[in-house]
Structure formats: structure tokens, C-alpha cells
Amino acid sequence: MKITETFVSLQGEGLRQGMPCMFVRLAGCNLHCAWCDTEYALGNAIGVETTAEEIMEAAIASGVSYVCITGGEPLLQKEELAPLIAAMHEAGVVVEIETNGTIPFIELRDYASICMDVKCPSSGEMSDLSLLSSLRETDTVKFVIGDEADYLYMVEVLAANPKLRAPVCITPVYGTDTKWLVETIIAEKLPVRFQLQLHKVVNIP
């Protein structure tokens, strides 16, 4: 599979925020969000061809027991990814896959948790909201909020999915004002988790 980079850092978002993590960034994406912060991983022609065995060896050598598969959109390489995460799971590694919610992932759930990043209007893209029903309590839904329209869209999506089991994390677009978002969440008592991107706050990869 084509890999843009691997590195060890702290998880900056989601339910495992702050935990040491090995990131495996796969190359290529089927979307182009307006505020994408990893544009270097978007092209399908970029990336270094890497075997599952090589990635597994790097994960074990890192000494970290939590691996985040990200992109780009990692599920574009789902067929090659499946045996890798199965092997990691068998070895006792906790695996999380970050996805933009455009490609079904149900067949991977035995080996990894899913973080589905629901695309809001300011991104200029759209996720497949029917995939929300495939998420479990151990998965995560993420909304990146850039403005009030994004917030209202999130509220609409949550209202339309009352049986959603996965916890919801809200992250503001980096560098935007956050006070109004925090105050609105508190005032409306939304059952969500507000987060800043920790890795950007502390200036690490």
C-alpha cells in the first residue's frame, strides 16, 4: 500500500486524545476539503509503496501499543489495509482508522475502531450519513466546525440520527474563534465533547 509517512506522537483528537500513538498516513484521498491540513497526502500518485509486513515491523519497533491509520482517506486502500489491521489486532495493538465517511467500513470493525469525520458545509465536501448507523459505542463521530452554518448542520445531523451510538467530538477549524462555539454547546447542553487539536496547541506532528 502507498504510505505518505509514519511517525510517533500524541493523539491530538478523539477519545484517545493525549495518548502516545504511532500514525500511519496512507496516500490519496477522494475529497479535497477547503481547510485540509494534510494536502501533501492527497494525491493518488504520491506515497511510498510499503508492505503490510514493513508497517507491522515499524509498529512493533515503535514500542507504542496504539496505532492510528489516517490519510488522506485510508479506506481507498481497504483491501490491502484489512490484513494489516487484522495482524495488528492479533498482536494486541489497538488500532483506530480515521475516515471521511464516504466508504463503507463495516468489514473492518472486528479489528479497529472507527473515527468518522462528518464533513460540514464549510469543507466543501459531504460524507455518506448512512454510514453513521454502522458505528458502535467504541467508535467516534467527529465534526470540524468552521462557522455557524457548520454548527447548525451538525445539530441537524444529530437530530436525524437519535439512535447514534458513537460518542461525538467537536473540533473547531484551527485558528478560528472558539468562544461562541463553547458558549453555544453549554447553552444548548449538547451531549458532545469539545476538543482543540492538541498536537497543534503543543506544536508537535
Q: Which residue positions form the known binding site?
A: 10-12, 25, 29, 33, 35-38, 70, 72, 205
**Residues contributing to the annotated binding site for [4Fe-4S] cluster:** 29, 33, 36
**Residues contributing to the annotated binding site for Mg(2+):** 38
Q: Is 138 exposed, middle or buried (0-12, 13-18, 19+ CB in 10 A)?
A: middle
Beta strands in the chain (DSSP E): 2-10, 20-26, 48-49, 66-70, 94-99, 113-118, 140-145, 168-172, 193-194
**Residues contributing to the annotated binding site for S-adenosyl-L-methionine:** 35-37, 72
Contact (CB, 8 A) for 116 and 139: yes
**Residues contributing to the annotated binding site for substrate:** 10-12, 25, 70, 205
Contact (CB, 8 A) for 154 and 120: yes
Residues 6+ apart with CB under 8 A from 103: 30, 73, 75, 76, 78, 128
